[in-house]
Amino acid sequence: MIKFLQKAKRKVSLEDYVTIRTKGIAEYFFEAETVEEIISALKAAHDMDLPFFILGGGSNTIFPSYYNGVVILMKMSEFEIKKESSGVYLLSQAGAFLPRVARKVTEEGGVGMEWAAGVPGTIGGAIRGNAGAFDTFINSFLQKVETLNVNTFEKNYLSGKECFFNYRESIFKKRKDLLILSAEMKFPYGEEAKEKMEEILRYRQENHPSAPSAGSFFKNPQVKPDFFEKFPEMKKFKEKGFIPAAFLIEKSGMKGKSVGGAQVSTKHANFIINKGGATYEDIVKLTEEVKEKVKENFGISLKEEVEFM
């Protein structure tokens, strides 16, 4: 507890630590550079009977105006890459910056991380949410994950199968007691990965908003086949088995809709941006309005990809 109090900061604005740049205040803020420091912060949170949150790159996270708890910034960011005959092997700590890792894997000839170009997250966050894009997901390359139980402080390893991955889902979203410490992944060799990565970067620059956001806001909903009979204009998505959330939001007339400083991006409707001074309350209200409109128009209940604290 003493070591925690010596290093922890009080009443810290999280504006510089979340990609949507809202000004939520954390009662305690602790930068953990080792597993021992993470455990120290967790024990302090337990002792003070306060909630805690492990923060990575700060995307997909919306904090309230005041968080009466302990925010633990994951600073364990080292990674190692080895070229083997069968592919590119990656051992990475959870806090490693996703675009940096993706660039290095690609430079070494590995295929499978091109989608991560320009995604401001961490390896741990990507695994937790089974991140991916352009029909590629991180779980496809995962071999095992090192975990820490936040209650017992025991370490363990889970195989990819034991992580129960699904679309934007994993065991780590259901088991709040499991924290990702590191991961081992393997990527096959392939050609044109560098070109594909640059193409994805260009696509994001052209089609995604540059204003602060939490990234893709809603999950793309899966629908039953009879949905396309009711809405034939959406049959172009039938092969995918889901409808892009951005399409539903735009067709519901919510593109460009604002509440306070929060706005549904006019560039891509599945982004809620901070156009200046957006608050947690602004974002919550706008989120509910978008969901209500889509439900009213299409009978679909959108689910957030982002996490509201």
Distance between CA atoms of 101 and 90, rounded to whole angstroms? 9
Catalytic residue check, 168: yes
Q: In Å, how far from its chain's centre is CA 165?
A: 14
**198 tagged catalytic:** no
Q: In the chain, which residue ranges form alpha helices assigned H by DSSP?
A: 2-7, 35-47, 98-107, 123-128, 171-174, 193-207, 226-230, 245-251, 280-298
Angle, nearest 10°, between helix axes 98-107 and 193-207? Answer: 150
Beta bridge partners of 262: 259, 274
Q: Which residue has the tokens 């083997």?
A: 84
Which one is catalytic: 92, 216, 252, 265?
A: 216
Clarify whether 192 is annotated catalytic: no
Question: One of 168, 170, 252, 265 is an active-site residue; which one?
Answer: 168
DSSP β-ladder status, 178-187 and 87-93: antiparallel
Query: Which of the following is catalytic: 37, 114, 146, 305?
Result: 305
CB 79 within 8 A of CB 92: yes
Active site residues: 168, 216, 305
